């Protein structure tokens, strides 16, 4: 197996210098003499003050500057913005996504940085094709000299061979890992040379070669070049391997793709047009846009590298493409498009990154139920009314309660203790867990899988220790300690109740005095006084209880609200805020993705 035709007696050359191989070698001494003469002439012009081009910037200098400005504009425009956004996207996502997901995006950034640091005046174009498609023949035809070996023996090309029309492409070829012994120069002469300035043409091994190393060479170089010329023949133009492995995945790179139907000299009559139309149909099915009618897309041509038919047309189209100096940025832009398309499932979805008001309210309600906020409010209301009953009740009822307390203090004490504000531990824990799951599922609904998982994990982490904290809140923020506050009318009610008691006592003493003969008999006045006190006491107590309902209810509602707010605040700090922070992070990365993908900022 012969990779490249190289004479055995050819001396080793420095890989940093061009080795012209089989091409007619230039005479180094003659070249050195010419350079010396040019240097002497330049010095003389400088001495005479006639070196206008160097001093004032001649046409070549102006062209170079224009080229540099155009390159800077290309690299500093939308592509630069998208690359910066992609870098930011990876930085924000590396802790949420696995390394495999971000591998392609990282590779694009690395290749963009590497390509930007190399010559912008050169365009690297690879010629790829299947076994026997004639790509090496086309390579030689474009170079105008026999560089790549052709023949019936397969495979003919074993390693990539490069041909550069101008100097300064060594860094690009080093990046492609093409050694100096496989770097060539074309045959110079004619107007085509000027159009092809800056071209670096690479002949690749067969992409369908039986040798694994050959296919590896193809895949490696295709990922690094600026443009590709795919050479197909009438027999293999519909090959499934070509379309499924290369053309279809690289459909987004249509603007830097040439598809050449070679060996049309073997097709009779109108068969070449029919095959070319069928090739266009297959490319359209692959999703590759065709550059027809002024639209951007792949260039499709028919030619015969052997006879030269159509080669000049390809050279002309290729020359125009090279002089635009935009292949590298267009290739990288297509790479960013492909990376963005692959990342779309992990960044874009139909969900809105927010916690709905209904879900937030439901979450706080669940926490309030877990902490027993409603029961605590009822207990506070009962405590307020019980305190009112003590202050405004009749003395005989208070005396009876004191007697009952003395007779069975434990039972009465239990009756005075408010019902437990919180539910049993396991029930409260279950309610808390259910509340956390519900709000996390609502926040994660419709988000891409990795970010939905991150939202749920943030909620679970925040919920650790939440039931225990709620238990403490039920004690510290539940029923208020001490006696409830008394309204302003309580002294009047106490005075009225004391008056009713005094009436009962005065009437009773008056009646007793009449019975023992101290006072003259007159039953009606003392009886009426006693009845007024007996009826008035309960009436004052009932009136006070009716008047106490409103304040007691408000007091209980205040206690319930405080406990609800305390539970809600705890839930917000531990669960809702971490979830909101995760959603905010997703919003930020999604915005970066929108910039990378070039989507509308209003689109989801």
Q: Which of 218, 48, 236 is nearest to 131 (CA)?
A: 236
How do residues 426-438 score in pLDDT, each as one tens digit? 457 788 888 888 8
With contact defined as beta carbons under 8 Å apart, do 105 and 589 qualify? no
Is 397 a residue whose pLDDT tops 70?
no
430 half-sphere exposure, CB direction, 13 A CA radius: 5
Cis peptide before 155 (omega within 30 of 0): yes
* pLDDT band per the 50, 70, 90 thresholds, residue 29: very low
Phi, psi (rounded to 5 degrees) for 400: -65, -40
Phi, psi (rounded to 5 degrees) for 229: -110, 110
* pLDDT band per the 50, 70, 90 thresholds, residue 46: very low
Using the 8-state DSSP alphabet, how is residue 270 labeled?
A: T
With contact defined as beta carbons under 8 Å apart, do 571 and 366 qualify? no
Residue 191 neighbours by CB under 8 Å, 6+ apart: none
Which ranges constitute the DSSP H helices of 119-162? 135-143
| DSSP symbols for 55-94 | III-HHHHHHHHHHHHHHHHHHSHHHHHHHHHHHHHHHHT
- Compute CA 4 distance to the chain's CA centroid, rounded to the nearest angstrom: 47
Using the 8-state DSSP alphabet, how is residue 573 labeled?
A: I
* Helix 373-392 and helix 490-516, axial crossing angle in degrees, nearest 10: 40
Of 599 and 282, the one with more pLDDT: 282
Tokens read off for 570: 């705890």
- The whole-number average pLDDT for the span 544-555 is 75
How do residues 100-142 score in pLDDT, each as one tens digit? 889 999 999 999 999 999 988 899 999 999 988 998 899 999 9
Q: In what order do the strands lie in the sheet with 161-164?
A: 183-184, 161-164, 199-203, 123-129, 227-232, 257-261, 299-302
Q: What percent of the chain has pLDDT over 90?
A: 32
Phi, psi (rounded to 5 degrees) for 20: -80, 0
Taking the C-alpha atoms of residue 132 and residue 466, their distance in angstroms, rounded to an integer, is: 71
pLDDT at 537: 72
SS3 call for 455: helix
pLDDT at 375: 79
pLDDT at 27: 34
What pTM did the predictor assign? 0.69
Tokens read off for 426: 């396991």
pLDDT at 221: 94
pLDDT at 53: 41
SS3 call for 161: strand
Taking the C-alpha atoms of residue 138 and residue 203, their distance in angstroms, rounded to an integer, is: 9
Taking the C-alpha atoms of residue 419 and residue 375, their distance in angstroms, rounded to an integer, is: 7
Taking the C-alpha atoms of residue 261 and residue 466, their distance in angstroms, rounded to an integer, is: 70
- For the CA atoms of 572, 573, 578, 579, the dihedral, rounded to the nearest 10 degrees, stands at -10
Phi, psi (rounded to 5 degrees) for 170: -60, -40
Beta bridge partners of 299: 258
pLDDT at 434: 85
How do residues 498-539 score in pLDDT, each as one tens digit? 777 787 787 778 778 877 877 777 777 777 877 877 777 777
Taking the C-alpha atoms of residue 101 and residue 89, their distance in angstroms, rounded to an integer, is: 12
Taking the C-alpha atoms of residue 133 and residue 130, their distance in angstroms, rounded to an integer, is: 6
SS3 call for 286: coil
How do residues 231-290 score in pLDDT, each as one tens digit? 999 998 999 999 999 999 999 999 999 999 999 999 988 899 999 999 999 999 999 999
| DSSP symbols for 220-241 | HHHTT-SEEEEEE-TTTTT-HH
Taking the C-alpha atoms of residue 591 and residue 597, their distance in angstroms, rounded to an integer, is: 10
Phi, psi (rounded to 5 degrees) for 466: -65, -45
pLDDT at 515: 78
Query: Could you tell me if residue 412 is left (phi over 0), alpha (psi between -120 and 50 degrees) or otherwise beta?
Result: alpha
H/E run at residue 299: strand 299-302
Taking the C-alpha atoms of residue 367 and residue 563, their distance in angstroms, rounded to an integer, is: 10
36-72: burial string, b at 16+ Cβ within 10 Å, e else: eeeeeeeeeeeeeeebeeeeeeeeeeeeeeeeeeebe
pLDDT at 300: 94
Which ranges constitute the DSSP H helices of 477-523? 490-516
CA distance to 496, 497, 524, per residue, from 509 (Å): 20, 18, 14
Strands 199-203 and 161-164: antiparallel
Tokens read off for 445: 């609904």
Which range has highest mean pLDDT (324-328, 346-350, 372-376, 409-413)? 324-328
pLDDT at 462: 86
pLDDT at 127: 96
* pLDDT band per the 50, 70, 90 thresholds, residue 556: confident
Task: Tell me the torsion sign for CA atoms 201, 203, 207, 213.
Answer: negative
* pLDDT band per the 50, 70, 90 thresholds, residue 595: very high
Mean pLDDT of the chain: 78
Beta bridge partners of 300: 259
């Amino acid at each position: 197996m012969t990779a490249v035709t190289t004479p055995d007696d050819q001396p080793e050359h420095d890989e940093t210098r061009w080795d012209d191989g089989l091409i007619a070698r230039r005479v180094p001494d003659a070249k050195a003499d010419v350079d010396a003469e040019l240097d002497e002439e330049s010095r003389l012009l400088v001495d005479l003050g006639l070196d206008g081009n160097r001093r004032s910037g001649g046409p070549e200098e102006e062209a170079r500057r224009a080229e540099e400005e155009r390159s800077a504009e290309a690299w500093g425009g939308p592509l630069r913005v998208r690359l910066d956004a992609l870098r930011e996207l990876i930085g924000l996502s590396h802790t949420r996504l696995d390394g495999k997901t971000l591998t392609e995006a990282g590779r694009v950034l690395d290749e963009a940085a590497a390509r930007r640091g190399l010559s912008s005046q050169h365009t690297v174009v690879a010629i790829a094709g299947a076994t026997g498609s004639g790509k090496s023949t086309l390579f030689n035809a474009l170079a105008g000299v026999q560089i790549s070996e052709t023949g019936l023996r397969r495979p003919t090309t074993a390693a990539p061979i490069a041909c550069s029309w101008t100097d300064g492409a060594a860094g690009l070829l080093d990046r492609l890992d093409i050694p100096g012994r496989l770097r060539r120069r074309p045959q110079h002469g004619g107007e085509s040379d000027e159009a092809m300035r800056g071209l670096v043409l690479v002949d690749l091994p067969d992409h369908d070669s039986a040798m694994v190393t050959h296919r590896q060479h193809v895949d490696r170089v295709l990922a690094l070049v600026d443009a590709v010329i795919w050479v197909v023949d009438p027999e293999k133009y519909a090959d499934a391997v070509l379309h499924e492995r290369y053309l279809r995945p690289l459909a987004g790179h249509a603007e830097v793709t040439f598809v050449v139907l070679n060996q049309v000299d073997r097709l009779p009559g109108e068969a070449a047009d029919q095959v070319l139309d069928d090739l266009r149909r297959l490319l359209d099915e692959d999703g590759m846009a065709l550059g027809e009618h002024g639209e951007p897309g792949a260039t499709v041509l028919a030619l015969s590298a052997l006879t030269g038919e159509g080669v000049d047309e390809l050279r002309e189209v290729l020359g125009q493409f090279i002089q635009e100096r935009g292949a590298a940025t267009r290739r990288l832009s297509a790479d960013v498009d492909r990376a963005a398309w692959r990342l779309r499932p992990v960044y874009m979805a139909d969900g809105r990154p927010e916690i709905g008001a209904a879900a937030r309210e439901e979450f706080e309600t669940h926490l309030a139920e877990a902490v027993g906020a409603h029961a605590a409010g009822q207990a506070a209301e009962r405590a307020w009314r019980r305190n009112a009953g003590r202050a405004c009740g009749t003395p005989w009822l208070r005396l009876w309660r004191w007697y009952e307390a003395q007779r069975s203090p434990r039972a009465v004490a239990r009756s005075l203790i408010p019902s437990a504000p919180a539910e049993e531990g396991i029930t409260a824990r279950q309610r808390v867990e259910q509340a956390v799951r519900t709000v996390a599922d609502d926040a994660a609904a419709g988000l891409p899988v990795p970010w939905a998982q991150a939202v749920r994990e943030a909620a679970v982490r925040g919920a650790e220790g939440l039931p225990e904290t709620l238990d403490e809140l039920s004690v510290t923020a539940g029923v208020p300690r001490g006696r409830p506050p008394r309204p302003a009318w309580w002294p009047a009610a106490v005075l009225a109740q004391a008056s009713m008691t005094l009436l009962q006592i005065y009437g009773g003493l008056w009646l007793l005095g009449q019975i023992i003969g101290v006072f003259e008999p007159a039953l009606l006045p003392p009886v009426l006084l006693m009845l007024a006190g007996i009826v008035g006491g309960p009436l004052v107590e009932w009136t006070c209880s009716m008047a106490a309902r409103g304040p007691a209810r408000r007091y209980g509602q205040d206690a319930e609200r405080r406990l609800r707010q305390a539970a809600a605040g705890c839930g917000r700090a531990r669960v809702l805020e971490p979830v909101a922070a995760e959603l905010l992070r997703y919003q930020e990365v999604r915005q970066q993705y929108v910039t990378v993908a070039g989507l509308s900022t209003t689109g989801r």
